[in-house]
Structure 1
């Protein structure tokens, strides 16, 4: 292709935001990376249409989509340039050997990692169904519900139902552990509850294997985050088993090396 045609096309792509120009030339933008992933899904005969944006988080954008087979699903673009998350030990494990890494590549790696983890967990654990992955994007089965953070469970659930929900969540944490993973960032922000009282646990790219050197820390933090949310419903007052160390032992089958201390746990080893 003649140079003038190449430059013309690059300028057009730049105009539409698919590439960005710098001192060194042109590079694919995040919007351009989105377009490449969508194009790949369409060419594979998977994706038919993209609908509304469901949300924008610190780690990505989520959209409703329609698949070629007529099913509704969710499309998640990982966009980790928004957070300097490489400081976290959980991510350094698979980024440590990557030098001069770009945020596009980081986003691709985390999407690939989440897709692989979901494939191992689904359908045994209540997680989104992994359908397809390309570059920094994952297509997952449709998930419904609201973040626990946005809900007042006492408005539509009895105390017994709330306690049952707590233990059901712990059971899913246990199932994930038995498969080999600890969520690593579990909280009321990534547990979605639907109107039927069913739930799904989302956002798994930062999950750590249960043999990780800091596995006890991350599992205890996950347990504590769940307990902390449910404390406002006072279910811990009437159930002595709702204790971080006891639940840790229940999940892992072994006593914790260190007794749980609430102070400083949130900051911990990230």
Structure 2
């Protein structure tokens, strides 16, 4: 995608932006010929640092994952449940918490996003196109706005009621496509959705879970959809009364959910015994989510 010329001195308007010194973690991609130069740092969060890089004639981004000790997002057992590893030795080491096990868990955490991106891109979900993954660095598409600049996150954009309804409907359809592909984002919010020139693009998937194999997938899906509802509901209050998450999950568990299944936003819950353990987990998750949201707001500020 075209690199913006905004803010460059007049002498630089006819040439490419001057590259920066390549960070150590990106040197292996340069040595392998996957990256030609590093143009600038796009962002640095608690989970990873992202750089804009040049690959031949293309401008892409490189996501450099930070070590687990430097991240705010915890590798909770809820997210890693039922994730497959290469062999039983790794699984045993991860369960024991040995140094090798911790390294294996870290590698599995990083590769989960790569696997999810390829899986979702193949299903037609609007995610950045992945190109390569090497030494803890994910090389992928740079999501751009109409000017060729890096696209903003939803939390940095103000919407009209009409635009809020339109983008909310688009993202609900993307969540349905993800669920039909067997994936739940697990941490979807206005902080990890970019507004590209042609609409929203979902990012940040290292915590994605298997919809059928993770016992917490339902709770995570409901929270993802609720986050979308609450954010867009600020601009279009009618959305606040919808129940799309519960409706989606009910259709999914009954084998009736397809990428083009129409949704009404209405759902009447079935009465049953209260699961106290689930209620307590919901409270803990809400507390963790609020803490993570405050951290993201600090980073965005």
TM-score (norm: length of structure 2): 0.66
Alpha-carbon shift at residue 112 of structure 1 (Å): 1.8
Moved more, 89-98 or 228-237: 89-98
Partner SS state of residue 54, structure 1: strand
Output one character per residue of 1:158-200: Cα deviation in whole Å (capped at 9) or x when no partner.
Answer: x233211101001001111111100000000001113x35111
Identify the match of residue 149 of structure 1 among 155, 158, 161.
155
Cα pair 1:122 1:129 within 8 Å, conserved: yes
- Distance in 2, matches of 1:93 and 1:189, equals 27
Q: Corresponding residue for 1:5? A: none
Measure, in 2, the Cα distance between the counterparts of 1:191 and 1:60. 16
State whether structure 2 residue 173 is matched by structure 1 residue 184.
Answer: no
Contact 2:221–2:245, Cα closer than 8 Å, also in 1? no
Give the direction of change, closer, same or farther, for the CA distance of 1:42–1:243 in structure 2 (3 Å limit). closer
Q: Does residue 61 of structure 1 match 2:49?
A: yes
2:165 to 158, 163, 166: 163
Aligned length: 228
Q: CA deviation at 1:137?
A: 0.7
Q: Distance in 2 between matches of 1:185 and 1:46?
A: 30
Q: Match of 2:99, SS?
A: coil
Contact 2:194 2:202 in 1 (8 A): yes
For structure 1, the residue ranges without an aligned partner over 5 or more in a row are 1-33
Displacement of 1:250 in angstroms is 5.3
Residues 250 and 92 of structure 1, relative CA distance in 2, 3 Å threshold:
closer
RMSD value, Cα: 3.2
Deviation at 1:100, TM superposition (A): 2.3
Q: Partner residue of 1:21?
A: none
The separation in 2 between residues aligned to 1:108 and 1:74, in whole angstroms, is 20
Alignment partners' CA distance in 1, 2:99 and 2:82:
14
**Whole-Å separation in 2 of the counterparts to 1:104 and 1:46:** 25
Give the structure with higher Rg (CA). Answer: 1
Are the aligned partners of 1:236 and 1:242 in contact in 2 as well (CA < 8 Å)?
A: no
Q: Which residue of 2 aligns with 1:219?
A: 221
Q: Which residue of 2 aligns with 1:126?
A: 126
* Structure 1 residues 131 and 258, CA gap change in structure 2 (3 angstroms): farther
Q: Which moved more, 1:129-138 or 1:110-119?
A: 110-119
Asked if residue 71 in structure 1 is aligned to residue 58 in structure 2, the reply is yes
Give, in whole Å, the separation in 2 of the partners of 1:257 and 1:90: 27
Gaps of 5+ in 2: 1-22, 86-90, 145-150, 258-266, 273-277, 293-301
Aligned counterpart for 1:91 among listed residues 80, 91, 112: 80
Q: CA separation in 2, counterparts of 1:44 and 1:173?
A: 36
Of 115-124 and 38-47, more deviation after overlay is shown by: 38-47
1:236 to 232, 235, 238: 238
Structure 2 match to 1:207: 208
Does structure 1 conserve the Cα–Cα contact (< 8 Å) formed by 2:190 and 2:231? Answer: yes
Partner in structure 1 of residue 147 of structure 2: none
Describe the shift of the 1:73–1:183 C-alpha distance in structure 2 as closer, same or farther (beyond 3 A): same
